[in-house]
Amino acid sequence: MKVAVVILNWNGKALLEKFLPTVMSHSENASVHMVDNASEDDSVQFLRANYPSVQVITNATNGGFAKGYNDGLKHVDADILCLLNSDVEVTPNWLDPVLEVFKTRPETAIVQPKILDLKRPEYFEYAGAAGGFIDRLGYPFCRGRIFQALEKDSGQYDDIKEVFWATGACMFIKSEVFRSLGGFDEDYFAHQEEIDLCWRAKNQGHHVLYVGHSHVFHLGGSTLTNMDPKKTFLNFRNSLYSITKNLPGKVAFTIIFFRLLLDGIAGVRFILQLKFGHCLAIMRAHLSFYSNFRKLYKKREKAKVLLKYYSATSIVWSHFVHQVKRFNILVKD
């Protein structure tokens, strides 16, 4: 199998200086590519001067994560694509366990490794942890992470397990599957587009796996931190997008009704915390959702709407009312 590690970059010279050496050292069985999203720093010049073996693809505009990868991956020839954030530190032998799964389980289309926190290496990292799921109201959560509660890694997820979604921080996907799905939905711009992609892949009968025998360390928050209202806007809006596109009509409308109510409660909570920008971001997310609803609904014709979905108990109720902070308490794994 031809494997390509593809890093999306936007004004990330400092990140490339810090994290690219481990990628180059530990990815001897793969080609390494950088897709540059119209950076205004000298990222491209730095790469060409110091890492001539890295294949540089330059996009004309910054279309965010979704369009950036869609445009860049058109120029990458490989059987397996590894979409890797520029702020990820890989480890020795990180590729082999993942590639072994692709070889021995041909039904597998998407894989993610264990994602640990670079700042606290003994803990899972927010973006993906040990594989993603959604609850019965469409909220994403992970083995090892529920909302902001992160578990310590004690080997409890050193396994191979089918999950609902894999993180875009480090996602392996068969190129034929990525292209058959039409890539990421560019209306998302960034955040949760990988959930939608995995959802559509599962609609087509593909499998999404977590491989705990491979691990990487993620810095996180390099583009948008959790304190940035823009991230709040994208997460709230894009979650509604995925529900609309990928669930049966009656189920989708019921869930959206409850989500809008809960989003209102979240807005009040932000006001009480004096985080007015985040409350405004939720309002903007709803307005954007309403204005794009017709367009989203038409996309349902392309995505074979899944009649079954992961129906864990509500993580909002479990986490904020019952103070559940561990996956194995919320879900019998």
d(CA 310, CA 313) in angstroms, rounded, equals 10
Query: Is the distance from CB of 156 to CB of 302 less than 8 angstroms?
Result: no
Instruction: Indicate whether 52 pLDDT > 60.
Output: yes
The mean pLDDT of 266-281, rounded to a whole number, is 96
- What's residue 43's pLDDT? 95
CA distance 129 to 323: 19
Question: Nearest CA to 255 among 314, 295, 301?
Answer: 314
Q: In the CATH scheme, what architecture does the domain 3-218 have?
A: Alpha-Beta Complex (3.90)
Q: What is the pLDDT of residues 140-187, one digit of tens each?
A: 999 999 999 999 999 999 999 999 999 999 999 999 999 999 999 999
Statement: residue 127 has pLDDT above 70: yes
The span from the CA of 325 to the CA of 136, in Å, is 18
- The neighbour count for residue 55, using CB atoms within 10 Å, is 16
Q: How many residues can be counted in the chain?
A: 333
Q: Are 97 and 211 in contact (CB under 8 A)?
A: yes
At residue 26 the predicted structure's pLDDT band, cuts being 50, 70 and 90, is very high
The single-letter code of the amino acid at 203 is N
Those residues whose C-beta lies under 8 Å from the C-beta of residue 331, and which sit 6 or more positions away, are: 133, 312, 313
* DSSP labels, 136-174: TTS-EEETTEETTEE-B-SSTT-SEEE-SB--TTEEEEE
pLDDT of 309 reads 54
Nearest-angstrom CA–CA distance, 198 and 139 = 15
Confidence label for 333 from pLDDT (cuts 50, 70 and 90)? low
Q: Which of residues 226 and 229 earns the better pLDDT score?
A: 229
> Please, which pLDDT band fits residue 196 given cuts at 50, 70 and 90?
very high
Q: What is the mean pLDDT of the chain?
A: 93
Structure tokens at 105: 């389980």
* C-alpha–C-alpha distance, residues 66 and 62, integer Å: 10
**pLDDT cut 70: percent of the chain above it:** 94
Does the pLDDT value for residue 20 go beyond 80? yes
Say how many CA atoms lie within 13 Å of 145 toward its Cβ.
22
Q: Residue 266 — pLDDT band, cuts 50, 70, 90? A: very high
The stretch 284-292 carries a mean pLDDT of 97
Among 13-22, 29-38, 251-260, 304-313, where is mean pLDDT lowest? 304-313
pLDDT at position 298 is 87
Report the C-alpha gap between 190 and 200 in whole angstroms. 17
Scored b (16 or more CB within 10 A) or e, 261-291 reads eebeebbeebeeeebeebbbbbebbbebbee
Q: 99 and 3 in contact (C-beta within 8 Å)?
A: yes
pLDDT band at 223 (very low <50, low <70, confident <90, very high): low
Q: Is the pLDDT of residue 311 over 60?
A: no
CATH 3.90.550.10 placement within the chain: 3-218
Which pLDDT value is given to residue 328?
86
